[in-house]
Amino acid sequence: MNRRTFLAAGTAAGLAGISMTGTLPAVAHRRDRRYVRTLDELRRALATAVPGTVITVADGHYPVPAGEPIAITGKRGAPGVPITIRAESPGGVVLTGEQSFVLTGSSDITLSGFGFRQSTTLDIPPDCRRIRLTRNDFQLADIEGLHWVMVRADHSTIDHNAFHGKTTLGIFLGVEGAGTDEMATGVHIYRNHFSDHSFPGDNGGEPIRLGVSPRALSKADAVVEFNLFERANGDPEAISVKSTGNIIRHNTIRDSLGGIVLRHGNANWVEGNYLLSGRNGIRIYGNDHYIVNNYLERIAGSGIVLGSGSVRDHLPGETPASRRGNDAPDGVLIALNTVLDSTTAISGESHRTVPPLGCIITDNLLVADNGQHVNMPFQDGISWAGNLHWGAATDGNAPAGSFFRADPKLAAGVDGIRRLTAGSPAINAASRSYRDVDFDLDGDRRTGRVDVGADEYSRRRPVLRPLTAAEVGPNA
């Protein structure tokens, strides 16, 4: 399935209310159901589990002895019929100690409803496949440098979990792969709640990190959608992308230091995200990215940063030192975004000297009464058109003829999001067509000559809105 078809299908599914938030398979009549009250009983049940087995662990606190983790070794469910280990109630089973579950050579395993309080990383290794972590509560030991969950298994699913309460260096959730330069493929991360990471350093406290620099050119095809980030202050990057071919859409980042950063890798799609009252917006390096339909409001720094590079491109076989450098953006589209009341709406960088090439900045809606709309030190590699500026903020160095000034006639909805009203000059004003952009920020279909900014004018009630805590996490 090509990217455009996949995006349209995924959004249409979301509008139908089924999205990608699947439930456990409805095969109860075939399932082997077991109820266990001790770790020894759980181990015996796992030894004989088969596809469809559901093991329910009685609520309680379970200290896992050092050197005796709950081993899931060589256990194989089947696609759509996993082996499920679940708590009696979400969060009702709390696992303490050095380790909890240790998976090896297993597939189609679901872990659901546990409170993880261990002191080492929960690792999903590359010799596993289709592992699902759902409706769990993660608050591991607050140890300097401890990463809480690391996913290296293809087609894993991380959904409806809570990650919260870390004050030290280390990430909440990482995705990597086998060896030193591969990525797990097809990982799906959705409806999770990431909150309250207060590490005071300036690097190393990301809620989500998709890859690391040696894996930048590996195609991951991860989908990160419908997640909520609140008070994500452990790193300037709330979603840090260091791999290729990922989709980042319909996430909400609120009251956070962190933003969305395409730090390494190519061909990533960033669409329909809300970044509200934060310090960092969307920052871009690498090639062939789409940045469309995003809504950014009250960003203390720049809403959207089209970076510059220390290298032109990352290439196979380059040195580790070169791979860590910033890849100048080539062929990036920044279009149909709304940036409101931010210090600078769209900016670049001057401290790196390799400029963007072949990038397009079109049909964005930029409104502010302070600061400036555009501050782009490198202009030669960028095409501009159709951007709408409004407010007392200066136009900055936006090229003449690349924008028009008019009151967009915005009005806030009950969710606080400012959308177009009837008679707005943004309606049907886009400078070009966007055949790959089928829907707007709200889930309204874009047809004909589309509207400037993230919102396509409609009288209908928005289907997609900023997420609240009630819509994510174990109890959603």
Q: How far is CA 82 from the centre of its chain?
A: 26
What is the model's pLDDT at position 110? Answer: 98
pLDDT at 26 over 70: no
The answer to whether position 94 is within a domain reads no
Number of structural domains (the chain) is: 1
Q: Which of 250, 228, 254 is nearest to 294 (CA)?
A: 250
Query: Any idea which of 16-20, 223-227, 306-310 has the lowest mean pLDDT?
Result: 16-20
Q: Which range marks the domain in which residue 436 is found?
A: 121-471
pLDDT at 8 over 70: no
3 state SS of 1: coil
Task: Note whether 367 and 384 are within 8 A (CB).
Answer: no
3 state SS of 16: coil
pLDDT by residue (tens digit) across 383-414?
999 999 999 999 999 999 999 999 999 999 99
Number of C-beta neighbours around residue 244 at 10 A: 24
Percent of the chain with pLDDT over 90: 88
| CATH code, domain carrying 278 | 2.160.20.10
pLDDT by residue (tens digit) across 135-179?
999 999 999 999 999 999 999 999 999 999 999 999 999 999 999
Per-residue 3-state assignment (H helix, E strand, C coil) for 463-475? CCCCCCHHHCCCC
The answer to whether position 388 is within a domain reads yes
pLDDT by residue (tens digit) across 343-352?
999 999 999 9
What is the model's pLDDT at position 340? Answer: 98
pLDDT at 184 over 70: yes
In which band, very low, low, confident or very high, does the pLDDT at 464 lie, cut at 50, 70 and 90? very high
The answer to whether position 194 is within a domain reads yes
pLDDT by residue (tens digit) across 28-65?
445 699 999 999 999 999 999 999 999 999 999 999 99
DSSP secondary structure string for all residues of 406-451: ----EEE-TTS-EEE-TT-TTTT--SS--TT--B-TTSPBP-SSPP
Q: How far is CA 243 from the centre of its chain?
A: 13
In which band, very low, low, confident or very high, does the pLDDT at 202 lie, cut at 50, 70 and 90? confident
The answer to whether position 20 is within a domain reads no
What is the model's pLDDT at position 319? Answer: 82
The answer to whether position 330 is within a domain reads yes
Task: Note whether 330 and 355 are within 8 A (CB).
Answer: no
What is the model's pLDDT at position 122? Answer: 98
Backbone angles phi, psi at 75, to 5 degrees: -95, 130
3 state SS of 396: coil
Tell me which of 89 and 310 has the higher pLDDT.
89
The answer to whether position 306 is within a domain reads yes
The answer to whether position 362 is within a domain reads yes
Residues 299 and 339: their CA atoms lie apart, in Å, by 9
pLDDT at 17 over 80: no
Q: Give the bridge partners for 224, in sequence order.
A: 189, 248
pLDDT at 200 over 50: yes
pLDDT by residue (tens digit) across 298-337?
999 999 999 999 889 888 888 877 888 899 999 999 999 9
Residues 119 and 274: their CA atoms lie apart, in Å, by 33
Q: Give the bridge partners for 429, in sequence order.
A: none
What is the model's pLDDT at position 368? Answer: 98
The answer to whether position 226 is within a domain reads yes
What is the model's pLDDT at position 10? Answer: 54
pLDDT at 27 over 90: no
Cα three-residue angle 158-161-165, rounded to 5 degrees: 125
What is the model's pLDDT at position 21? Answer: 38
Average pLDDT, the chain: 93
What is the model's pLDDT at position 16? Answer: 39
Number of C-beta neighbours around residue 423 at 10 A: 9
Tell me which of 57 and 17 has the higher pLDDT.
57
Query: Any idea which of 125-134, 197-206, 235-244, 405-414 has the lowest mean pLDDT?
Result: 197-206
What is the model's pLDDT at position 288? Answer: 98
Task: Note whether 232 and 207 are within 8 A (CB).
Answer: yes
What is the model's pLDDT at position 310? Answer: 86
What is the model's pLDDT at position 175? Answer: 98
Q: Summarize the confidence of residues 221-248 as an average pLDDT.
A: 98
pLDDT at 476 over 70: yes
DSSP, res 25: P
